[in-house]
Amino acid sequence: MDIAEKYQKLRMFYKQLLPSLTEDSWEICGSVLSIRTLKKGELLLTEGNVCRHVSFVNHGLLSMYYLREGKEKRVMFCNEMNYMSDYKSFLLQELSETYIKAIEDTELVETDYDGLQMLYKKVPEANLLGRLIAEELFIDICKRTSAEANETINQRYNNLLKEKPWLAQRVPQYMIASYLGITPEALSRIKSRTVKKKKPAMALY
């Protein structure tokens, strides 16, 4: 199996971002990639360790969270065709404050820190790809920060499902509640009100 076939989804992702990516550049990119598989519930990263990789999700689902006083505070979900990493820990090569766990059986395509630095030096397109990916991540963080400051919990929940409709089917309710900063019971009440609003009014004859 050649590089193009083995990492087909990642190549598709790169080509969507940068259609001008050449075959030679892709071959160099492929030389620093590796595959990792995680079982459901397995941890990719734990607090107190340095994040050594950026991970592209071939298939499956990951969640990032902080653990404070025994409680999980979810900050990110990552599904197929997206990157996941503790970027602060990865870029600074410092100890992570977060955990990353597989919510489903997951397959990742990974690049380690040294490999990425090599790509930046040898592949001109890699710098542009890195910038485009970083911009998408920055926009996502800005949206999340703005939502936390300006939207009600109901609005945040409804907008979250509009942007990520797969969450309702693939992520346990308690994790979505943790992401929103509320209890599972409060989320159940929000969902109940949302369903009632969607029900059509009964015609009177």
Same structural domain for residues 104 and 156?
A: no
Q: So what's the pLDDT on residue 205?
A: 42
Same structural domain for residues 110 and 161?
A: no
Q: So what's the pLDDT on residue 204?
A: 47
Q: How many CB atoms lie within 10 A of CB 92?
A: 11
Q: So what's the pLDDT on residue 199?
A: 56
Q: So what's the pLDDT on residue 3?
A: 54
Give the Cα separation of 37 and 35 in Å (integer): 7
- Residue 89's contacts (CB-CB under 8 Å, 6 or more residues apart) are 45, 50, 51, 95, 96, 97, 98
Q: So what's the pLDDT on residue 6?
A: 72
- Which amino acid type is present at position 27? E
Same structural domain for residues 170 and 145?
A: no
Q: Which domain covers residue 189, as residue numbers?
A: 152-198
Tell me the two tokens of residue 64: 């990032």
Same structural domain for residues 185 and 84?
A: no
Residue 205 inside a domain? The answer is: no
Residue 125 inside a domain? The answer is: yes
Q: So what's the pLDDT on residue 81?
A: 94
Same structural domain for residues 138 and 157?
A: no
Q: How many CB atoms lie within 10 A of CB 170?
A: 15
Residues of the chain with pLDDT under 50: 1, 202-205
b/e map of 172-186 (b: 16 or more CB within 10 Å)? eeebbbbbbebeeee
Structural domain total, the chain: 2
Predicted confidence (pLDDT) per residue in 43-62, tens digit? 999 999 999 999 999 999 99
Measured CA distances, 147 to 72, 82, 102, 110, 120 (Å) = 20, 21, 25, 31, 34
